[in-house]
């Protein structure tokens, strides 16, 4: 017995007709298509008639936002792949949104294309795994700083805010020299004569992009130049040092007075290592 | 040593979490063309035996989309979402019913994921602005921010006119 092709088509059309949902929101429609994304969502396509007969069809930025929410950060490489994917389906991927502008006669094709982009772009979730390597280090840094036998009386303060030329920066810890003189005027005179400077310590984590983190640290150094904080020695505690690229690490070395690289799993050494390094800059 | 701290998620979600950033700073970040905010903090919590433990948590906000339906907020541990709010036109809620629109992602300890446990959040219906979205989402997720915004103290130094 042969397959009834027309019957198949009829039932599929019925299925698609029942499965496609449409919601009217503000000045656009949201179509929910039956195709599921790889992260198990129904693909949503946003359609807005910008002028009579001309439509903007997009995914509302949902695909990129969902990837971001699920721990998949769009790197330059992923961005290029998403742009390529969009191009294959006659769309663009700009500012995190798959989009097609079209006239009425191409509207249905555009809706299907955006649905496909929204579905295929979630392919990245397949390779996503939780990352267990990151260890809290701030308490170890603090313990290391408190264990340090400074050659002078000092006071450790956490979360010290520093106003740069263009931005505010936060140092995780600063060791301030303290002479403890009761008379504030005498203390000020001693401070002027004393060349000891506060020492700043900041944890620098690689996050998703070590070079970006290094640039952030470098910008902080640049922004603090020509301010009262310029001369304060800076200690960068670089975590998961084994994951950094050489260029990223070089940038941190160029921006800090001293770098304390800590490899994954060796965070415990910090409490012993930091006092030794602090003595070098004190 | 690196360890799996997912067993702490119920406690972390119940805790008040603090991020040293102002709401205005987050709004400024999500209003840029990139539309994203990303911050990591160390959070101190307790395990079931009342022992202090520290974990690294991450707050990710994406408000790049022009439409609120494209906005997401997520709290992550080990780069995995453990709590969050977003929108789907249609989804299967945690109780098996069909939901529409805004929902909160709740952690499922057995699956070690918050991907599939979705709790409808009608409180978010009708939200139009990024700031109200953030205020509501942060409050829902028990995330506290720094009340002080230092951004207004900063200015680009003027060049001498001479």
Task: Give pLDDT, residue B161.
Answer: 42
- CA dist., res. B71 & res. B61, Å (int): 8
| pLDDT tens per residue, range B31-80 | 999 899 999 999 999 988 889 999 999 999 999 999 999 999 999 999 99
Nearest CA of chain A to the CA of B159: how many Å?
13
Nearest CA of chain A to the CA of B162: how many Å?
20
Does residue B96 belong to any structural domain of this protein? no
Contacts A210 to B, Cβ<8 Å: none
Among A24, A48, A67, A68, pick the best mutation site for testing chain B contact (most B Cβ within 10 A).
A68
Residue pair B54/A136 in contact (Cβ under 8 Å)? The answer is: yes
- The token duo for A91 is 């769309």
**Per the CB < 8 Å rule, is A135 touching B56?**
yes
Does residue B69 belong to any structural domain of this protein? yes
Confidence band for B159, pLDDT divided at 50, 70 and 90: very low
> How far is C-alpha B150 from the chain's CA centre?
21
Does residue B111 belong to any structural domain of this protein? no
Does residue B138 belong to any structural domain of this protein? yes
- CA dist., res. B106 & res. B109, Å (int): 10
Domain boundary assignment for chain A: 5-127, 138-281
B60 touches chain A (CB under 8 A): yes
| pLDDT tens per residue, range B68-124 | 999 999 999 999 999 999 999 999 999 999 999 999 999 999 999 999 999 999 999
DSSP per-residue string spanning A154-182: EEEEEEEEEE-SSSEEEEEEEEEE----S
> ipTM exceeding 0.90?
no
Confidence band for B157, pLDDT divided at 50, 70 and 90: very low
pLDDT along chain A (282 residues), means of 10: 87 94 90 93 95 96 94 88 96 96 97 96 91 86 91 88 88 84 60 75 89 93 92 94 92 95 90 90 82
- CA dist., res. A271 & res. A238, Å (int): 14
Range of the domain at B137: 7-87+129-145
Does residue B152 belong to any structural domain of this protein? no
**Per the CB < 8 Å rule, is A66 touching B100?**
no
Instruction: Say which DSSP state B8 is in.
Output: G
Contacts A30 to B, Cβ<8 Å: 69, 89
Does residue B93 belong to any structural domain of this protein? no
Helices (H), chain B: 9-14, 23-30, 130-140
Q: Domain tally for chain B?
A: 1
B52 touches chain A (CB under 8 A): no
Task: Give pLDDT, residue B162.
Answer: 38
Nearest CA of chain A to the CA of B16: how many Å?
18
Does residue B103 belong to any structural domain of this protein? no
Between chain A and chain B, the number of residue pairs with CB atoms below 8 A apart is: 136
Task: Give pLDDT, residue A50.
Answer: 93
In CATH, what class is A138-281? alpha beta
Does residue B23 belong to any structural domain of this protein? yes
- CB-CB: which of A71, A95, A265 is closest to B81? A71
Instruction: Say which DSSP state A78 is in.
Output: H
């Amino acid at each position: 017995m042969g397959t009834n092709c027309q019957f198949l088509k009829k039932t599929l059309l019925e299925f698609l007709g029942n499965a496609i949902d449409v919601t009217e929101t503000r000045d656009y429609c949201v179509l929910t298509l039956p195709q599921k994304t790889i992260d198990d969502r129904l693909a949503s396509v946003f359609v807005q008639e910008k002028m009579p007969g001309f439509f903007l069809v997009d995914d509302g930025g949902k695909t990129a936002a969902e990837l971001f929410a699920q721990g998949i950060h769009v790197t330059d490489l992923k961005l290029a792949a998403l742009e390529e994917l969009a191009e294959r389906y006659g769309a663009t991927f700009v500012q995190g949104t798959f989009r097609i502008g079209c006239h009425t006669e191409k509207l249905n094709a555009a809706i299907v294309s955006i649905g496909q982009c929204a579905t295929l772009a979630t392919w990245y979730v397949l390779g996503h795994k939780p990352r267990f390597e990151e260890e809290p280090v701030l308490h170890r840094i603090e313990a290391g700083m408190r264990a340090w036998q400074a050659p002078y009386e000092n006071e450790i303060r956490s979360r010290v805010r520093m106003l740069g030329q263009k931005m505010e920066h936060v140092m995780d810890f600063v060791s301030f020299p303290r002479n403890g003189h009761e008379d504030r005027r005498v203390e000020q005179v001693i401070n002027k004569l004393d060349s000891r400077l506060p020492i700043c310590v900041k944890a620098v984590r690689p996050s998703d992009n070590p070079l970006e983190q290094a640039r952030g640290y470098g910008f902080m150094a640049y922004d603090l130049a020509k301010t009262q904080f310029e001369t304060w020695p800076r200690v960068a505690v670089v975590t998961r040092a084994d994951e950094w690229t050489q260029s990223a690490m070089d940038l941190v070395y160029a921006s800090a007075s001293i770098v304390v690289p800590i490899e994954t799993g060796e965070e415990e050494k910090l409490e012993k290592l930091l006092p030794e390094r602090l003595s070098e800059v004190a | 040593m690196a360890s799996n701290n997912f067993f702490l998620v119920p406690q972390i979600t119940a805790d008040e979490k603090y991020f040293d950033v102002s709401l205005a700073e987050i709004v400024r970040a999500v209003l840029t063309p990139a539309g994203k905010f990303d911050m990591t903090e160390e959070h101190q919590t307790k395990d079931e035996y009342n022992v202090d433990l520290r974990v690294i948590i991450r707050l990710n906000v994406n408000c790049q989309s022009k439409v609120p339906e494209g906005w997401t907020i997520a709290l992550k541990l080990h780069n995995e979402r453990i709590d969050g709010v977003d929108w789907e036109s249609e989804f299967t809620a945690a109780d098996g019913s069909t939901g529409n629109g805004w929902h909160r992602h709740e952690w499922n300890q057995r699956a070690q994921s918050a991907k599939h446990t979705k709790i409808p959040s009608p409180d978010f219906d009708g939200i139009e602005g990024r700031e109200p979205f953030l205020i509501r989402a942060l409050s829902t997720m028990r995330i506290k921010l720094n009340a002080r915004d230092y951004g207004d103290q900063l200015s680009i130094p003027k060049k001498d006119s001479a």
